Structure formats: C-alpha cells, structure tokens
Structure 1
Amino acid sequence: MGNASWKVDRLTGCIGAQVSGLDVRRTGPADADVLCDLVRKHGVLFLRGQPTDPATLVAFAGLFGDVLPAHPLKPGLPDHPEVLANQTGGVRPQDLRCRDAHNRHGTNWHVDCTFVREVPTYSLLQAARVPPVGGDTLFADLAGAYAALSAPLRDLADGLRCPHDVRLLYADWLEPGADPLLREKLLEMPVVSQPLVAVDEEAGGRRSLVLNPNCVRTIEGFSDLESHTLLELFMQYTLVPERTARWRWAEGDIAVWDNARLLHNYVMDHGASPRLIHRAMAGEAPLKPVGSGLPTLTPSLVMPSDR
C-alpha cells in the first residue's frame, strides 16, 4: 500500500484531517515526506483502526524522526521505553474540580514537554482501551491564534519570552511524603526560557504562539498581573471553537500532530470507565524565536531550589 491509495478528509475548517486507506504496518521511509507534509498542512492527522502493538506505534513514529524516550521524568513501558502509558480510568467527581480556567485536577490544555530546551517535534497518541462514551481529545491551533491577533499584539508577542517550569506541572512531587527520588529528579530540572512565538521554517516561516498553562505562569520582564492578563488574552484567541478540533477515539486509532503548533487536552467525562492511551514522540529541536537565524534558548536565571 502506498500513499497514492490514501484518502485525506478534512475534519474542520481549521485543523485536523482523517487519513483513510493507510495501514501503519505498510508505511516506510518512502512515505515519510508525504506524512510530514500532511501534518504540516493540517496540524493533526487521525488514522482509524490501527494495530495496538506498542512496537508498531514506535515504528510508525520513527517515520517522523528519531523516537524519543517516553518522558523526560517518567518511565515508559517495560518493553517499550519510548511509549508512555496514560491510564486515565476511574474519574471521580473531585477530579473535575478546576484549579484555574485551563487546568483541572487530572488534565489541562498543554503542549508536550516544552520545559526542555529541545522540544519534541511530533507527538503521537494511540487508543489502547476506550470507554463506551467520553474521553475525547481536543486540539487547538496556536498558529491560527497568532494569525488572528491584531498587528500591534503580534508585534508585542514576537519579542517576548516565558519561563517554562516543570515544577508547576508536578508540584505534588514536592509535597511532604512524596517519593524522594521523584523529588530529586524534579529539582534537577532547570527552568527553561522559551519564546512566546515560535517560527516554523519548514512551513514557510509560519508563526505560532507558545502557550503551555501546565508549566507557564509569567512572561519575562512583566509583573504577575501583566503576565496573567496577556497570557489569558492569548489563550482566549486560541480556544475559540473555530480554531479547535475534537476526536472521538475507537480502539487502535492513532493521532499524530505538530506538537509545538497545537494545544491538546482530554475530556474527563467517562466516569469510572477505564481509558488507556499510549503516547510516543519523535524529533526534537529548539523553538526558533522571531527575528533570529539561530535559536537563543538558555536556562532561566531562576534555577530549581529545595523548597
């Protein structure tokens, strides 16, 4: 099976496309450029009914670049260290309580792993077990949000940077009684400065906002009030319905997307029913800021300390 037999159907007017007639077991290096171009064009691709062997997911991820470890801080599957198992069954009423506008107890709008200097280029999810109803995944277009900003706001955003602090994401690892090894690993992670706008040269210089509520609270050089107001404004531009897509999972489905371009989130509406999603990531590169031929990412002056 080659890419000539694939059928690509757009899901929305902004992002997302379903690719039919594609069996990931029959894809190879000759298909890599076409697949990458499709992700670049649509933001996220969805493939129905693929085999759920994690080895197959890893092999498919390898078409997009070098497959990364499952997570900078968490282990992968014993036999497949590149695959992170997201077990999210048994949602309780308290899990749905909101910490803030974009974060609930167990999930939130986010980009994968922006708290490292070289950010994963592609993220892939595969449904290994799905609930009878609920548990969808949402995507939002950060490139579309940037393009919708007024020119003065784009000019402002282009020159800004934010500290990405993984300790905000895993604050419970620092609480009394937490695993001391996890605490030590977390405190060893530097706070990383990332541009608020990233440039994708492979997409003709397309610019995207870099928003990640799970590890960003402030903008460098701005007060807390100014930071909150601006970040919330940029999020409001991103999370309008016209810049989002929603996927209802069936077992075996794979989603692959441009990690830095899209926010994603999962809907915790499946109650006690189990839900198991496998994740892999491929490729990595520093985020390229506006107006720079070379990335200028450096650790923030704020380094982890024992709290």
Structure 2
Amino acid sequence: MSEPQWTVDRLTGSIGAQVSRLDVRRIGPADVNRLKELISEHGVLFLRSQPTDPAVLVEFAARFARVLPAHPLKPGLPDHPEVLANETGGVTPDDVRCRDAHNRHGTNWHVDCTFVRDVPTYSLLQAARVPPVGGDTLFADLAGAYTALSEPLRVLADGLSCLHHARRLFADWLTPGADPVGRDRLLSLPVVRHPLVAVDRRAAGRRSLVLNPNYASTIEGLSDLEGHTLLDLFMHHALVPERTVRWRWAVGDIAVWDNVRLLHNYVLDHGAGDRTIYRALAGCGPLSGVTGCKSQVIAQATPLPLDP
C-alpha cells in the first residue's frame, strides 16, 4: 500500500486524527514511518474497520517496535500472551459513583504501566465487542498541557521527580484472602522514580508532563500536602476539554498512540452492554527529564502511602 491511498482527517484542534483506507495487514516500512510521523503530530490515530484477529493486532504493533508482554501483572490471551483483553459489562449505578476527582471504580485517567522503569512507547487498543451505546475512550494531551503552563510552573515542573508504584492501584491484591500468586507478583515490583516532565528526543525535544493517578504517589522533596496539591493542579490543567479527543468505537477500530504523551480513560456509560477491548504495547524505555535525569528503580522496601 502506498501513502496516497490514505486520507488523514484531524478530529480536533489539538490531538487526534482518523486514518482511512488503510489496511494494517498491507503496509510497508515507508507506511510505518509515515504513521509514526502522524502519531508524533496528532498524538493518537484511529483506524476504522480492521480485522479483529488478535494476531493481526500483534503484527501491527510489531511494526512500530518490539511487542511487550500484555501486562507486568496480568496474563494475556492464552494464544496471544501479548494481548490484554479488557472486558466490561453490566455497569451498575455504584460503578459510576465518583471516588475522587480523577478516578472511578474500574475506569480512570492513566498512562499505561508507569510503575515499571521502562515505560511502553506505543499503546494500541482494538474494539472486539462494543455495546449499543456508550463505552467511548477519551484521550488528553500531556504535551499540550505542559506547553500551556505558565513559565514559573514549567520551570518548577522541569526539576521535579515523582514516585510510581503498582501498589497504589492494586491495593486490593494485598488484602486478606487475595490470590497469593498475584500478591507475590505485586510485592516483587520495585518503586520507580520518573521525571515529572519527559523529553521526547524523537520529536525535537518535545516536553510532556508525566501524570498518572493510577501509580504516581508523591513528588520527591515535597510534603504530601504540597505534592498532592501540585499533582492535582497539573491534572486539572491537563484535562481541560480543549486538550482532549473522544472516540466512539465500532468493531474492528484500532487506536494507536504515544503512551507517554497522552492520558486516556474510558467512559462507564454503557449500562448492561458488554464491551471487549484488546490492548497491545510496543517499545519501551526509561524516561528522560529536562535536567538529564532518567527513570530509576528505587529500593522495593521504600514505605509509601497507598492513598493521598
């Protein structure tokens, strides 16, 4: 397939583009390079009507970089260990009760897998089953959020680092009666330090805030009050509507995006309807900060609060 057969349509004034007339099974190296350029430009791409075979998703992900295991803590599909199946259905009123400003039970704004040192580079989702209504996925631009900060806040953020750990999200795995295998796997993961601002050398040094309510617990060198207040400020700033895009799924749709640059979330508004979304991850590496610092593993025994 050659690029002129494609059409690329922007979806908002900030992020997101739909790529039409592209079959992910029939692309060459030049096509992949162009897709990477488009991801750098738009943050996230959406491709309609692709085959829903997990093997096709894995092959497409491998065009971007080495495909990773489905999840550091969760198993993938039996025949495709690189693919995580996110299955939801039967949403109840309690499921959509707000727990805090950014999280709900079962859905939340996040970046994939920042509780490891080598953060995934590309994330891919594909809709295998969609409800009659609802279940959209939202994306927010952390690079645009950084650029739009006032200069004093940019300077402050440039010099800060944040601790990330899986125990924050998976705290219920440590309760009495929880699966001992999952508990041991969770406890074996170290705490990781990431810069609060990541520099993308592939995109002329573009800077992005590194925010993740799932795993980021505190800012080093600040009190809990200071750190939590500052993280909340940055999150509220990142989630203004002008820095977001919303995607309504149809079966076969694929979304591929820069995992470090974008937060994403899905909307629990589909009631009893079932929803199955496949996920694959490709490429990984430590994040580089403005001052030259990089992501580091911290001693596992470091005591950290589970909640702000």
Task: Tell me if both proteins adopt one fold, taking TM over 0.5 as the criterion.
Answer: yes
1:174-185 counterparts in 2 under 5 A? 174-185=174-185
* CA distance in 2 between partners of 1:249 and 1:130 (Å): 7
For the residues of structure 2 that align with 1:129 and 1:303, how far apart are their CA atoms?
41
Q: Provide, for residues 184-227 of structure 1, a one-character-per-residue CA deviation record: whole Å limited to 9, x for no partner.
A: 00000001000000000111100000000011121011111101
- Say how many residue pairs are matched: 305
CA distance in 2, matches of 1:296, 1:58: 29
Alignment of 1:265-304 (within 5 A): 265-292=265-292, 295-301=293-299, 303=301
Q: How does 1:100-115 map to 2 (within 5 A)?
A: 100-115=100-115
Amino acid at match of 1:107: T
**1:120 aligned residue:** 120
Secondary structure of the structure 2 residue equivalent to 1:41: helix
Tell me, yes or no, if the aligned pair for 1:187 and 1:304 is still in contact at 8 Å. Answer: no
CA contact (8 A) 1:189 1:304 kept: no
1:6-25 Cα distance to aligned partner (Å, 9 max, x none) = 10000000000000010111
Q: Measure the CA separation in 2 of the matches of 1:260 and 1:60.
A: 19
Alpha-carbon shift at residue 302 of structure 1 (Å): 5.6
2:9 alignment counterpart? 9
Aligned 8 A contact 1:188 1:304 in 2 = no
| Separation in 1, partners of 2:6, 2:301 | 48
Matches within 5 A, 1:109-258: 109-258=109-258
Report the secondary structure of 1:184's partner residue: helix
**Structure 1: tracts of 5 or more residues without a match:** none
Partner SS for 1:281: strand
CA deviation after TM superposition for structure 1 residue 304, in Å = 6.2
2:95 matched residue in structure 1: 95
TM-score (norm 1): 0.97
Q: Aligned partner of 1:165: which letter?
A: H
- Deviation of 1:245 (Å): 0.2
1:69 matched to which residue of 2?
69
Q: C-alpha distance in 2, partners of 1:97/1:290?
A: 38
- The superposition leaves residues 264-284 of structure 1 with CA deviations (integer Å, 9 ceiling, x where unpaired) of 000000011100000000011
Aligned-pair identity (%): 72
AA in 2 matched with 1:256: V
CA distance in 1, matches of 2:157, 2:89: 38
Aligned to 1:98, the other structure's residue is in SS state coil
Q: TM-score, normalised by structure 2?
A: 0.96
* Cα distance per residue 1:99-153 (max 9 Å; x no partner): 2111101010000001101000000000000000000000000000000111110
Q: Post-superposition shift, 1:166?
A: 0.4
C-alpha contact 2:138 2:247 (8 A) present in aligned 1: yes
- SS of the equivalent of 1:24 reads coil
Distance, in Å, in 2 between the alignment partners of 1:298 and 1:57 is 31
Q: Which amino acid aligns with 2:301?
A: M
| Residue in structure 1 matched with residue 261 of structure 2 by the alignment | 261
- 1:46 paired to 2:8: no
Q: Distance in 2 between matches of 1:18 and 1:297?
A: 33
Q: Secondary structure at the match of 2:57?
A: helix
Unaligned residue ranges in structure 2 (runs of 5+): none
Aligned-residue Cα RMSD (Å) equals 1.4
> What SS does the aligned partner of 1:172 have?
helix
Which runs of structure 1 show a deviation greater than 4 angstroms over 4 or more consecutive aligned residues?
A: none
Give the secondary structure class of the aligned counterpart of 2:213. Answer: coil
| Distance in 1 between residues matched to 2:270 and 2:284, nearest whole Å | 33
How far apart, CA to CA, are the structure 2 residues paired with 1:7 and 1:284?
Answer: 29
Q: Residue type of the partner of 1:93?
A: P
Q: Match of 2:298, SS?
A: coil
Distance 1:85 1:302 in 2: 29
SS in 2 for 1:99: coil
Look up the match of 2:59: 59
What amino acid maps onto 2:73 in structure 1? L
Asked if 1:24 is matched to 2:24, the reply is yes
